[in-house]
Structure 1
Amino acid sequence: MTLIDTPTHQHSSSRGATVPQARIARDAVFEQARRLAADFAATAVERDARGGTPKAERDALRASGLLSLSIPLEYGGIGANWRVTLDVVRLFGAADSSLAHVFGFHHLMLATTRLFGRASQWESWFEQTARRRWFWGNALNPLDTRTISRPQDGWHEFSGQKSFCSGALDSEMMIASAREAGSETLLVAAVPSARQGISIADDWNSIGQRQTDSGTVTFEKVRVEDHEILADPGPLSTPFACLRPLLAQLILTNVYLGIAESAFNDARYYTLHEARPWHASQVSAATEDPYILGQYGEFWVGLESVRVLAERAAERFDAAWRRGPALTEEERGSVALAVACAKVAAIRTGLDICTRMFEVAGARATHGSLRLDRHWRNLRTHTLHDPLAYKLRELGDWALTQTYPAPGFYS
């Protein structure tokens, strides 16, 4: 399958019309993703209660081939652009935000090798990931500086711990970071998850995102080879390399949007089928209550706004990605603003719907077995890792002084 931006050949449909090959491939990808999402949604409530590693679901993602979605065709992948990849993240987000998170971060880790490393590095990893159906996990977390790198003869020794290592359990490869001993230099490397000295703890027990395995990774004198260090061009060293945090923000934006859409759909079901009109409303059905209708109107405006902003940001990101090393600071800054707007809107709208959904769904929607509170728990858990106030400050700086956000791992 191929999901290229400009199709080069076409197929004839049964009605004689020509259909771009890229559209056929895109439809096939979403058909596959929708089947997976339906399966994920069917067990999401039970797995939210259980926590732990969603092994069967991760294996289903491996078998589907979608772990190669963002890998270019020439390396054995599907060749999707980021708009399509993010749409799949959003689709999974509505079914199970934990799986959307680790799926999206898998593609973020692959992109990290492309943005921070040499072609001789990432080409091989792309090919092996597509062929062997590797899952990539995260042990980067630049705010956790407990892991230290000490130079050796032709290699580096990583020792220390990392927290919030989403998807590290049950992964074949991971992106890890360490501070050079005696300096503030950050080294980022791609290493096999099963390498000697790497211990991945099953210690994630948050109120939300309960199956992201975002626990602790410990490095005990881990040997990291020079060719595994992503140093050319290196972390956040060029405008193109600085697309990495923007992709991370976009992935999360689409996870948040998926959560909000799922909460909306659950609320709508209970309003239509379970909610009873309040006695003072003087209407015969909850669907006729003007206050409930007004709230749904607010929900819909919020969702439509986030959808437009998220799609605009994805399109601008794709354009920047195609620019490659020729990307300028101004072009990167424009993408950063679009991503920040989408993320702020996704957080605000999502938290609003996940909180107020019970006002329109009725008291029966609070039954513990439904676990509809998981929408709020999932969104609230993740949005705390990047404070909204600082994202708004960046946008305010642009609005007032026309200053682009300074590149960093969160902007």
Structure 2
Amino acid sequence: MTAIQQPKVLSPLQTARQLAAEFAETAAERDRHGGTPKAQRDALRRSGLLALAIPRQYGGLGANWCETLEIVREFARVDSSIAHVYGFQHLMLATVRLFSRPDQWQPWFEQTARNQWFWGNALNPLDTRTVARKFDGWREFSGRKSFCSGSADSEMLIASALDEGSGKLLIAALPSGRSGITLHGDWDNMGQRQTDSGSVTFERVRVEENELLLEPGPLSTPFACLRPLIAQLTFANLFLGIAEGAFAEARHYTLKETRPWFKSGAAHIGEDPYTLRHFGEFWVGLESVRLLVERANALLDEAWRKEDGLGAEERGRLAVAIASAKVAASRVGLELTGRLFEVTGARATHAALRLDRYWRNLRTQTLHDPVDYKLHELGDWALNGALPTPTFYS
């Protein structure tokens, strides 16, 4: 009797690689159109990867940060918009885990895993146009937020407002479809064109007390202060993935389409001395960033496991490691994506190829917060031994 062949169960990384291959087929065309990548978001829902980092006891896949950020990087190599909203999915889940009580975040985790919810971002603490008024047992959010990545086609939003009386920042987890919330499709920037990072309007939106993330609250303990570091490290992995994707595409195009310059004396592009030099420089840059990023990923996992036992100094040293990785990923990525045409040649500027999207996407995302201020923090550490002060950006 022939044994029944059992279907092969894929690991999360194998699933992500299959999805990435699918996303790659339409990435350039979707970059041209912008808008919401609905089919790709639904594919992520069906894959189960939206619950990747949720612990198994709440229905998730129980991945650590190294595994989660590796998949962010995998997507970024082919489609950095998808990588962005996917990374923010886990950043938003980390936000409720770090800022709220177990009786709040545990049900949210369970429902996310069960229903494959997408979480969007409407936090942006530097945009102070949204105000919260207090009523008996509830609040009312009114105003507007910008740079709300992943808000479209989401089931839940992390939103913030300034308390009308105290000026304190209040953060809440809200259903995206609640009355009074309008998600505007007004994101039309040069890069990250399918992140839906436009604006959201709140018109007298009712927020219940148990939807507010008050205990322990934002940036209240060293463990809670991991939230901005997760954001920064997500960006570092995103930047590295974009650069790796640009390198792979440049290599493929160069070997298949580019001819050696007539003065080189080379019979094949793979022998052109200046082309080899460029690729050598690209490789050294990528290798250095990979080491910094992977080290920071591992250090984040160590810090995450300590939970409330995490100390301020250890958190500060992690901030230094992550800032170092992010600065390096920004610099190397921008250089590589800007120089890839030096190895691919004039034909590679054909509009249909959209090879410029790697630079456009990276340039857009690296402006999230100034690298100059990261270098200031690192300089203060290197010269004066002063660890970075926790903020929503450090």
TM superposition score normalised by structure 2: 0.97
Corresponding position of 2:5: none
Matched, 1:362 2:358: no
- Tell me how far apart the structure 2 counterparts of residues 275 and 65 of structure 1 sit (CA, whole Å): 41
Aligned pairs for 1:294-373 within 5 A: 294-373=277-356
Corresponding position of 1:172: 155
Matched, 1:201 2:184: yes
Matched, 1:210 2:193: yes
- Tell me how far apart the structure 1 counterparts of residues 257 and 21 of structure 2 sit (CA, whole Å): 23
Structure 2 unaligned regions, length at least 5: 1-7
1:402 to 369, 374, 385: 385
CA contact (8 A) 1:275 1:363 kept: no
How far apart are 1:129 and its partner, in Å? 0.2
One-letter amino acid matched to 1:283? A
Corresponding position of 1:287: 270
Corresponding position of 1:273: 256
How far apart are 1:291 and its partner, in Å? 1.4
Corresponding position of 1:112: 95
Structure 1 counterpart SS, 2:27: helix
1:29 to 1, 7, 12: 12
1:39 to 7, 14, 22: 22
CA contact (8 A) 1:174 1:190 kept: yes
What whole-Å deviation, never above 9, does each CA across 1:30-83 have from its counterpart, x for those lacking one?
111111000111110110001000000000000000000000000000000010
Structure 2 counterpart SS, 1:370: coil
How far apart are 1:95 and its partner, in Å? 1.5
Structure 2 counterpart SS, 1:144: coil
1:383 to 356, 361, 366: 366
One-letter amino acid matched to 1:115? L
TM superposition score normalised by structure 1: 0.93
One-letter amino acid matched to 2:323? A
How far apart are 1:183 and its partner, in Å? 3.1
Matched, 1:260 2:212: no
Structure 2 counterpart SS, 1:368: coil
Residues matched between the structures, number: 387
- Tell me how far apart the structure 1 counterparts of residues 353 and 155 of structure 2 sit (CA, whole Å): 34
- Tell me how far apart the structure 1 counterparts of residues 234 and 322 of structure 2 sit (CA, whole Å): 10
What whole-Å deviation, never above 9, does each CA across 1:200-237 have from its counterpart, x for those lacking one?
00110000000000001000000000000000010001
Matched, 1:130 2:113: yes
How far apart are 1:288 and its partner, in Å? 1.1
- Tell me how far apart the structure 1 counterparts of residues 77 and 232 of structure 2 sit (CA, whole Å): 17
Structure 1 counterpart SS, 2:263: helix
CA contact (8 A) 1:274 1:362 kept: no
- Tell me how far apart the structure 1 counterparts of residues 94 and 143 of structure 2 sit (CA, whole Å): 25
Q: Aligned residues: percent identity? A: 65
- Tell me how far apart the structure 2 counterparts of residues 273 and 77 of structure 1 sit (CA, whole Å): 43
- Tell me how far apart the structure 1 counterparts of residues 13 and 219 of structure 2 sit (CA, whole Å): 33
Structure 2 counterpart SS, 1:206: coil
- Tell me how far apart the structure 1 counterparts of residues 166 and 105 of structure 2 sit (CA, whole Å): 27
2:202 to 219, 223, 241: 219
Structure 1 counterpart SS, 2:11: helix
CA contact (8 A) 1:270 1:362 kept: no
1:374 to 343, 352, 357: 357
One-letter amino acid matched to 2:102? A
What whole-Å deviation, never above 9, does each CA across 1:140-191 have from its counterpart, x for those lacking one?
0001000000111100000000000000000000100000114331000000
- Tell me how far apart the structure 2 counterparts of residues 365 and 270 of structure 1 sit (CA, whole Å): 8
Matched, 1:148 2:168: no
Matched, 1:75 2:58: yes
Corresponding position of 2:214: 231
1:55 to 38, 44, 62: 38
What whole-Å deviation, never above 9, does each CA across 1:276-296 have from its counterpart, x for those lacking one?
111222222222121111111
How far apart are 1:92 and its partner, in Å? 0.5
2:376 to 390, 393, 406: 393
Corresponding position of 2:140: 157
Structure 2 counterpart SS, 1:299: helix
Structure 1 residue ranges, 4+ long, deviating more than 3 angstroms after superposition: none
